[in-house]
Amino acid sequence: MIKNKFEQPPEPENKKQEMTDGEVGDKGEMKKIIEEEDYEPLSPEEKAKRKEIYKGLVSNLHEVLKQAGFKKKASTWRRELDNVIQVVNLQRSQYSFSYFLNLGVFIKKLDETNLAPQEYECHYRKRIESIAAKDRTSQEERVKLRQLFDFEDTSVKPEEKIKDIKKMLQEEGLKFFLEFDDTWKQSKKI
């Protein structure tokens, strides 16, 4: 009997049947196989340690941002001015125990309906690393800057990293926002 070349092969009786070379499996199936091979769950001690580091980081950022007039919701802080909303967001990496500190400026005249924009909805966005890297010319300085947000790197104690991130936010992050107190002054840059 000649098979129609467009005919689909029958479903395997056993969904967990092993794939042979050249067969393409379900994406979810492949993801599960990869996760089972590479993934080790965190110990309760490691989970608790990471939670404490996160709380310390958020607490220190909140201290700086609250003094500057920002209001916090989850891991995002916002400060509303006449023409703009300034946004700071602490983003956790999905691949490692690292963080990113994202800064954004939302121009109200461009979207008057959004009263609480997320950082990714802002019209002008930067990571604090790129702002700070502007004054750091050597590759070594830039690597150190990235390591500051990587809490898997244990060459520096987490408390010291948090202290340095707080200082960077005070000295360079808030300075970035000073450029956007008046939207019209910056409209040509955007």
Q: For residues 129 and 160, what is the distance between their CA atoms, to the nearest angstrom? A: 17
Across 15-24, 72-81, 177-186, least confident range: 15-24
- Which residue has tokens 């390591």? 147
Q: For residues 85 and 123, what is the distance between their CA atoms, to the nearest angstrom? A: 10
Sign of CA dihedral 30, 32, 36, 39: positive
One-letter identity of residue 63: E
Please give the structure tokens belonging to residue 156.
């520096």
Count of C-beta atoms within a 10 Å radius of residue 54 = 17
Q: For residues 190 and 188, what is the distance between their CA atoms, to the nearest angstrom? A: 6
One-letter identity of residue 48: A
The pLDDT, as a whole number, for residue 187 is 47
Strand order in the sheet with 99-107: 71-73, 76-80, 84-92, 99-107, 124-127
Per residue in 78-132, pLDDT (tens digit) is 999 999 999 999 999 999 999 999 999 999 999 999 999 999 999 999 999 988 8
The pLDDT, as a whole number, for residue 23 is 42
Q: How do the domains of the chain map onto residue ranges?
A: 46-186
